[in-house]
Amino acid sequence: MTTAFLERVALAWALAATLQLVLWLVQQRKRNAGIVDVGWALCFTPIVLVFAWRATACARCWVVLVAVVCVWSLRLGGYLIARGAARSPEEGRYAELRRRWAPHASRSFFVFFQAQAALAAILSTAFVIPFIAEPWEGSAPLRAAGAAISIVGILGESVADLQLARFKRDAANKGKVCEVGLWGYSRHPNYFFEWCVWLGYAVYGLAFGWWGLIALAPQAIIVASIFGVTGIPPTENQAIRSKGDAYRDYQKRVSRFVPRPPKSRSSDA
């Protein structure tokens, strides 16, 4: 089991590293490192398809998981492309890295792209086990629950992204804080539902005994990244810089992460 597990993780890393190498070469010409996010999202589709191709467990153990991962990966990658992650101008955080890393930005971005490939390989451990192990008897409801949680996450994240995109398209909303739909219940509904996707993978993995516990680690990494330096903190710092007191008022009234009814404007913080 250990050998089979490590072989799959190595395959995942090789696929992700190759894709990110190609995208690094593209950004060398386009001068837009935001394409790394597109590569990270899309790489999970070939990874899970290769897992299916090399599967030793019965198809009923993993066929639903393949469908869920592919839908999530392609949806997120397509959204990032539509949002302009692969087009100029370069997103602010990457433009800042390019400035900070000069005159060795090319080399630093190569390391950065490959670090994202390594992260993808680590996160792919969330769905390795169903392809190489049999579930314990009577675990079908647990697998169904895991898939359902992930599907809810995909749907919720899709709705949040669409609501935000629609809000930003209206020129009258320039400089305003988005509080429409899900954004009126959570300041970061996209992050919350992204976590739900990975939580679903973890629940699905629990149907495969002790080895399935491995799937708990990736969702913990996702939570750490959301609440760490790459998720909520920089997003809110940028929002405060661009929207000022309007966003501070939003912070006082609306939940940071888990969606729940907002406080009234007259409530104390």
Q: Look up the pTM and report it.
A: 0.90
Q: What is the DSSP letter of 85?
A: T
pLDDT at 150 over 60: yes
pLDDT tens digits, 194-223: 999 999 999 999 999 888 899 999 999 999
pLDDT at 7 over 50: yes
pLDDT tens digits, 107-144: 999 999 999 999 999 999 999 999 999 998 889 999 99
Alpha helices (runs of H) in the chain, residue ranges in sequence order: 2-30, 35-42, 44-53, 63-83, 92-101, 105-123, 140-169, 189-205, 216-227, 232-243, 245-253
pLDDT tens digits, 157-188: 999 999 999 999 999 998 899 999 999 999 99
Taking the C-alpha atoms of residue 237 and residue 18, their distance in angstroms, rounded to an integer, is 34
Confidence class for position 268, pLDDT limits 50, 70, 90: very low
pLDDT recorded at residue 94: 83
Q: What percent of the chain has pLDDT over 90?
A: 73
Find, among 192, 204, 53, 63, the residue nearest to 126 by Cα.
204
Taking the C-alpha atoms of residue 187 and residue 164, their distance in angstroms, rounded to an integer, is 11
Which residues, 6 or more positions from 237, have their beta carbon under 8 angstroms from its beta carbon?
Answer: none
pLDDT recorded at residue 92: 73
pLDDT recorded at residue 238: 82
Which residues, 6 or more positions from 159, have their beta carbon under 8 angstroms from its beta carbon?
Answer: 181, 182
pLDDT recorded at residue 181: 96
pLDDT recorded at residue 228: 85
Helix axes 2-30 and 44-53, enclosed angle (nearest 10): 150
pLDDT recorded at residue 266: 60
pLDDT tens digits, 238-255: 889 889 999 999 999 999
Find, among 200, 197, 188, 263, the residue nearest to 231 by Cα.
188
Mean pLDDT across the chain, nearest whole number?
A: 92
pLDDT at 22 over 60: yes
pLDDT tens digits, 29-83: 888 888 999 999 999 999 999 999 999 999 999 999 999 999 999 999 999 998 8
